Amino acid sequence: MIEVGKKAPAFHLADGDGEKHRLSSYADGYVVLYFYPKDDTSGCTKEACAFRDLHPEFSGLDAMVFGVSPDPVASHAKFAAKYELNFPLLADEKDDKGTPPLCEKYGVWQEKSMYGKKYMGVVRTTYLIAPGGKVLQRWDKVKVPGHAEAVLAAIQEDQSNG
């Protein structure tokens, strides 16, 4: 996991439309990087829709929201279209070792357990990156209800203290 106050690792990933995004391109504003396990599953859909519904507020605070999962570009495109998502979903596709590189860099690719079976997967985590590229806040093992609102409130608080 990247600690608060540390420089956020760079990324260069494609979204559902195939457009590439770099962290450095958004250095003048806030970046919300929320990592989620899988497109079109119940918790991930609720989280994406919460960020979608608050998108005008995030935009008004000069904040760019990105969802990140190991799903491929085509899956992201379908998921975004189905729920009319108004922000990019970045495809952090697995490498030759079966590991999504950005998820690993950010420490969210961890051992999980379901029905007694252990496997590697994305632990729902959100990073708020401040203008300039340092981690301002991190939410671990995110519970979806109220989460997008909490991220928005953290940006508002940072701006009012700035």
In which domain, by residue range, is 47 found? 30-161
Candidates 14, 33, 44, 151; catalytic one:
44
Strands 63-69 and 89-91: parallel
Residue 19 lies in a domain: no
Measured CA to CA, the distance from residue 158 to residue 160 in angstroms comes to 6
Residue 69 lies in a domain: yes
Strands 63-69 and 30-35: parallel
Max distance between CA atoms of the chain, in angstroms, equals: 47
- 103 part of the active site: no
- Which helix H or strand E contains 134, and what residues bound it? none
- The pLDDT value recorded for residue 11 is 96
Residue 134 lies in a domain: yes
Residue 3 lies in a domain: no
- Kindly report the pTM of this predicted structure: 0.96
Q: Which two tokens stand for residue 100?
A: 């999504």
Measured CA to CA, the distance from residue 134 to residue 5 in angstroms comes to 6
pLDDT tens track of the chain, all 162 residues?
999 999 999 999 999 999 999 999 999 999 999 999 999 999 999 999 999 999 999 999 999 999 999 999 999 999 999 999 999 999 999 999 999 999 999 999 999 998 999 999 999 999 999 999 999 999 999 999 999 999 999 999 999 987
Residue 95 lies in a domain: yes
Residue 66 lies in a domain: yes
CATH assignment of the domain containing 111:
3.40.30.10
- Work out how many domains the chain is built from and give that number: 1
- The pLDDT value recorded for residue 83 is 98
Residue 24 lies in a domain: no
Cβ–Cβ contacts within 10 Å for residue 60, how many? Answer: 10
